[in-house]
Amino acid sequence: MNNKVYIKELFILTNKLKRLLDTKHQKNGLHSGQARILIYLYRNKEKEVFQKDIENTFQIRGGSVTGIIDSLVKYDLIKRVSLKTDKRKRKIVLTNKGETYAKLGIDTNMHMENRLNSLMDEKEKYVFEAVLMKLNDWIDEEEQYEKTI
């Protein structure tokens, strides 16, 4: 494989992974984006979480997050709660039903993580993590550069 196909291969790989995760999460009645947000809310339920936190954590655009949040509200998995101190700001809170779905999502993700981990030995995991961090840093640098020109 030469340098010219890395981006194509990364797109294909991420699309396949998303499709596989969607298939797994659909058994719980969710798609992977919904599951990610429910899991995030579950793991941060002691904190006040706002839409901006979700956008920043997952590096997703505001409109995309709004769509996912709207669908989760529609299915009574989360609710938007106005703050007493600032009625314009609304935190995102899991419902009891949402907590149940979040736990199902965690189980699904853990199963997938365990399967992925079993594919690699410790040295391969170390190299894989290093490559992921290098790619992530490179993308961050490229995004910053694009903002300056």
pLDDT in tens, 98-144: 999 999 999 999 999 999 999 999 999 999 999 999 999 999 999 99
Report how far residue 112's alpha carbon sits from residue 102's, in angstroms, rounded to the nearest whole number. Answer: 15
Average pLDDT (66-84) is 94
Determine the longest span between alpha carbons in the chain, in angstroms: 57
How many residues are listed for the chain in this entry?
A: 149
Structural class in CATH, domain 3-118: mainly alpha
**pLDDT of amino acid 84:** 84
- Tokens (6 digits) for 134: 């290098």
Average pLDDT (83-95) is 88
Question: What's the mean per-residue pLDDT of the chain?
Answer: 93
Question: In this predicted model, what pLDDT tens digit does every residue of 18-29 receive, in sequence order?
Answer: 999 999 999 999
Average pLDDT (63-71) is 95
Backbone angles phi, psi at 5, to 5 degrees: -110, 0
Q: What sign results for the dihedral spanned by CA atoms 20, 135, 65, 40?
A: positive
**pLDDT of amino acid 3:** 60
Contact (CB, 8 A) for 62 and 48? no
- Check whether 15 has a pLDDT greater than 70: yes
* Across 29-38, 60-69, 85-94, least confident range: 85-94
